[in-house]
């Protein structure tokens, strides 16, 4: 359900530029199937021409315990319980949902879109929205504009993407970088956007494009971006993106999960 061709293109470009450097995407297929199904998995991967060399087949046991051993930067699964277990273990993780429409994705540029609060950043501000309302939220963000937000569960993954981007920039390949990142947030730029941008700057992180939607639906903008994956902590936005053809991933973190479970 994820476009691996774009990842493999990034790896191929990195190999050309840095033939002696092994800092590239490393894909591990994790399954709780028994080892006997390994041949079938290998045949399927070869059939689709994918380069996946690491397998972890746990024979019915949860693979979560192996994530740390594999130095996992991001864990994706269709199993929401395993994803929740990984999040609680401090590993960047999300539940994958396939798109409801077929959309053509770039094979030569990996595009990754992130929500902000409770994804890149902590849910500190989202808690105020849920518990005290939007007016109090706007006031809080303006008062704390120069105080960086705490990090959220996918901050490290954005940082990893940034490190790979800088390897291209160092070779004067900024304009041809095969990785592009997007912040797609329901925040308003005028009333609460400054704190987000200042937080990224304080972390030394760049985001290629920032879209502040001021509460407008995210799905139509994602159709324009065509990201290979979009991360959000609220199923409402995940489902809206999915309906319009975006592969979306739910990050089960923060106060929004409490409200989602109670409805």
CATH code: domain of residue 173: 3.40.50.1000
**Residues 89 and 115 both lie in one domain:** no
Q: How is residue 101 written in tokens? A: 């429409």
Q: Is residue 140 a part of any domain in this protein?
A: yes
Contacts of 138 (CB under 8 A, 6+ apart): 188, 191, 192
Integer Cα distance of 235 and 100 in angstroms = 15
**Enzyme catalytic residues:** 115
pLDDT at residue 155, rounded to an integer? 97
Q: Is residue 15 a part of any domain in this protein?
A: yes
Q: Is residue 116 a part of any domain in this protein?
A: yes
Number of domains making up the chain: 2
pLDDT at residue 263, rounded to an integer? 40
pLDDT at residue 168, rounded to an integer? 97
Q: Is residue 102 a part of any domain in this protein?
A: no
pLDDT at residue 93, rounded to an integer? 97
Mark the ranges of the chain whose per-residue pLDDT is less than 50. 262-263
Give the domain range for residue 79.
4-95
**Residues 163 and 249 both lie in one domain:** yes
User: What pairing do the DSSP bridges indicate for beta strands 75-77 and 179-185?
Assistant: unpaired
Query: Which residue matches tokens 């920032």?
Result: 210
Domain's final residue, options 31, 61, 95: 95
pLDDT at residue 36, rounded to an integer? 78
pLDDT at residue 85, rounded to an integer? 93
Q: DSSP class of residue 17?
A: H
């Amino acid at each position: 359900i994820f476009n691996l061709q774009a990842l493999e293109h990034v790896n191929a470009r990195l190999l050309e530029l840095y033939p002696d450097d092994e800092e590239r995407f490393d894909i591990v297929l994790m399954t709780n199937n028994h080892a006997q199904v390994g041949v079938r998995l290998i045949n399927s991967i070869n059939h689709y021409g994918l380069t996946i060399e690491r397998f972890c087949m746990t024979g019915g046991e949860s693979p979560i315990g192996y994530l740390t051993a594999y130095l996992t930067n991001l864990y994706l699964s269709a199993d929401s319980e395993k994803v929740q277990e990984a999040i609680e273990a401090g590993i960047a993780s999300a539940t994958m949902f396939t798109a409801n429409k077929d959309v053509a994705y770039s094979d030569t540029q990996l595009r990754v879109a992130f929500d902000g609060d409770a994804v890149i950043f902590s849910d500190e501000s989202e808690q105020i929205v849920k518990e005290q309302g939007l007016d109090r939220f706007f006031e809080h963000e303006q008062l704390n504009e120069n105080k960086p937000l705490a990090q959220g569960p996918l901050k490290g993954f954005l940082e990893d993407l940034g490190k790979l981007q800088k390897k291209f920039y160092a070779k004067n390949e900024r304009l041809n970088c095969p990785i592009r990142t997007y912040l797609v947030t329901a925040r308003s730029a005028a009333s609460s956007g400054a704190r987000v941008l200042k937080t990224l700057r304080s972390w030394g992180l760049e985001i290629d494009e920032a879209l502040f939607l001021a509460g407008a639906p995210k799905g139509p903008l994602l159709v324009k971006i065509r990201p290979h994956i979009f991360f959000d902590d609220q199923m409402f936005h995940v489902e809206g993106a999915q309906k319009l053809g975006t592969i979306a991933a739910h990050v089960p973190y923060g106060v929004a999960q409490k409200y989602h479970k109670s409805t």
